[in-house]
Structure 1
Amino acid sequence: MQLQDSTSFPERDDTHSRSWPFWSATLRVLLLLGMLTWWLSVLARVTTNVPSSVDAPSLLRPGVTQLPDSRVEFVGDWVVQTIGTESFVATRVAGDRLRFEFVGTELGIVVRAGPDAGSISVRIREGTRNDSASREVSTVLNLERSSARVETLTLGKSLAPGVHVAEIRNEDSAELALAAIIVHGRPGIWWAWLPPLGLGLLGLGASLHAWWNALVTALGWWKLGTES
């Protein structure tokens, strides 16, 4: 005689095992959405809309601007000097200055340094002349050297992208001779952010695909489809 084992074990509830991948995928999607939202808010601040050359023709843009230039305002007794193939705008009066507006993130000058040169002060205001809430960067440079030579000096870098106002002032009764103004734009324009933004969107798409698969598995739709 055979004995029939009537002992029955309760069926294991795998609801938790099915729902955990769904909630994990949901969390990844929410985190990626939050990161992309923050990223776009930062992107809007660091890629300021810059006026076009038609709307603002007086702005110095990235590149080398040879002096004199009509977009640069000279205040004081300035003269044009030509030495060989190089041209300079020079003064020997303390307090003489030049002002200009530029768009970029770094500013430099080509200047003649030497025993006849002295100190200059540089002020860069991040924002237009009418922007009272703008931040100002100032520095003093000594151009006196043992021998005369032409140097390229950096006046400001890591500036916020946008329009800025710069003023260069001759502090001594020594010679200040400028040949050119150099403006750099880093980061350049908004397309520089497209690769990381594209990768973020691809990651979001992959996370949404994983989330959908986890949802189908958690609801048992895939299992019902295979049984039918």
Structure 2
Amino acid sequence: MMIDHAEDIQPTRGFPPRSPRPGLTARRLATAVPVLLLALLWGIHLEATLPSIRVPGPERAASAGILAPGEHRVVDAPVELVGDWYTQPLGDVTSVVTDQPGAAARLRIHGTQVLLTARVGPESSRAYITVDGEPVPDLERDELGSFVRLRASKAADRDIVVVSGLAHGEHDLTITNGSQGQLAISAIIVEAQTPFPWAFALFYGGVLLLLVVALRGLAWEAVHRLGWAPAARAESPSGGRR
């Protein structure tokens, strides 16, 4: 059903006519609402798909030995183990384990954040982390480099963030066992976060603000069409209101 311009509707119940407001007619407002909703859905879709842009496909990732975003079991992943490592199954989890100081696991990832599913406990110590040959700025550091602490009073497998805030793309990650304990890793989790999250926040805020304005305008038009708007007070001869 076609909606006529609000200013073409004659006032009812004796209410005075409204002054026309260009750009806020019912027809334009009714068109703006679905457009804004589509823009909101488009933004949500774009935010969800952006992290997967330029991510290598399964064939290229397998041939190049790249860990794409997702969870990867170390025993099945293209991880280069340097030094003395052995596998250790515990229940349905299989870890690669080393007791050798300086033994390292090298891998190439495509993402912005990496977590290790590693064992913490009284036999564990420190795992030293480098990305693209450099220490990780957000981690603790000593004379040997940047590291995460794995020592705890009780043994358990935990997901530990080892690097975050990377630029979208491929990066080389090296995990090296410290000199005072055991290193056991069962999985590597690679994540690709949405770039420019602040831009999406501004976009969503602007669209929602415009949507509220459009819905408010439609409600105001409906009030006038139904004759529910309050009548304006008549001016008295002296210029005041009665």
* Band the TM-score falls in, shorter-chain normalisation: 0.5 to 0.7
Cα distance in 2 between the residues matched to 1:97 and 1:84:
25
Matched letter for residue 80 of structure 2: E
**CA distance in structure 2 between the aligned counterparts of 1:67 and 1:51, rounded to whole angstroms:** 19
The 3-state SS of whatever aligns with 2:59 is coil
Structure 1 stretches lacking a partner, 5+ long? 1-45, 130-134, 201-228
Q: Which residue of 2 aligns with 1:137?
A: 136
Task: Give the equivalent residue in structure 2 for 1:4.
Answer: none
Trace 1:82-93 onto structure 2 (pairs within 5 A): 82-93=89-100
Q: Once superposed, what is the RMSD of the aligned Cα atoms?
A: 3.1
Mapped contact 2:102–2:177 kept (Cα < 8 A): yes
8 Å contact from structure 1 (residues 80, 88) kept in 2:
yes
SS of 1:55 mapped into structure 2: helix
| Residues 160-204 of structure 1, C-alpha deviations (whole Å, 9 max, x = no match) | 10111100000124111101000011117xxx97x95xx99xxxx
- Which residue is 2:155 aligned to? 148
Judged with a 3 Å threshold, the aligned counterparts in structure 2 of structure 1 residues 51 and 85 are, in CA distance, closer, same or farther, namely: closer
Which residues of 2 match residues 1-228 of structure 1 at below 5 A? 49-57=54-62, 58-125=65-132, 137=136, 139-187=146-194
- Compared CA separation, residues 150 and 98, structure 1 to 2 (3 A): same
> CA 1:50/1:178 → structure 2, altered by over 3 Å: closer, same or farther?
same
CA distance 1:88–1:62, change in 2 (3 Å)? same
| Whole-Å separation in 2 of the counterparts to 1:62 and 1:95 | 27
Tell me the residue number matched to 1:8.
Answer: none
- SS of 1:154's partner is strand
Q: TM-score, normalised by structure 2?
A: 0.52
User: 1:47–1:161: 8 Å Cα contact kept in structure 2?
Assistant: no
Q: CA deviation at 1:120?
A: 1.1
Q: Where does residue 143 of structure 2 map in the other structure?
A: none
Aligned to 1:213: none
Q: CA 1:91/1:161 → structure 2, altered by over 3 Å: closer, same or farther?
A: same
- Would you say the 8 A contact 1:75–1:98 is kept in 2? yes
Q: Distance in 2 between matches of 1:152 and 1:47?
A: 23
Q: TM-score under structure 1 normalisation?
A: 0.55
Greater mean deviation of Cα atoms: 108-117 or 81-90: 81-90
- How far apart are 1:48 and its partner, in Å? 7.5
How many residues in Structure 1 have an aligned counterpart in Structure 2? 144
Post-superposition shift, 1:136? 5.7
Give the drift of 1:55. 3.1
CA distance in 1, matches of 2:113, 2:77: 21
CA deviations 1:96-129 (Å, max 9, x no partner) are 000000101110000111000011100112xxx8
Judge conservation of contact 1:50–1:163 (CA < 8 Å) in 2.
Answer: no
* 8 A Cα contact 1:73 1:100, kept in partner: yes
Structure 2, unpaired ranges of 5+: 1-50, 138-145, 208-242
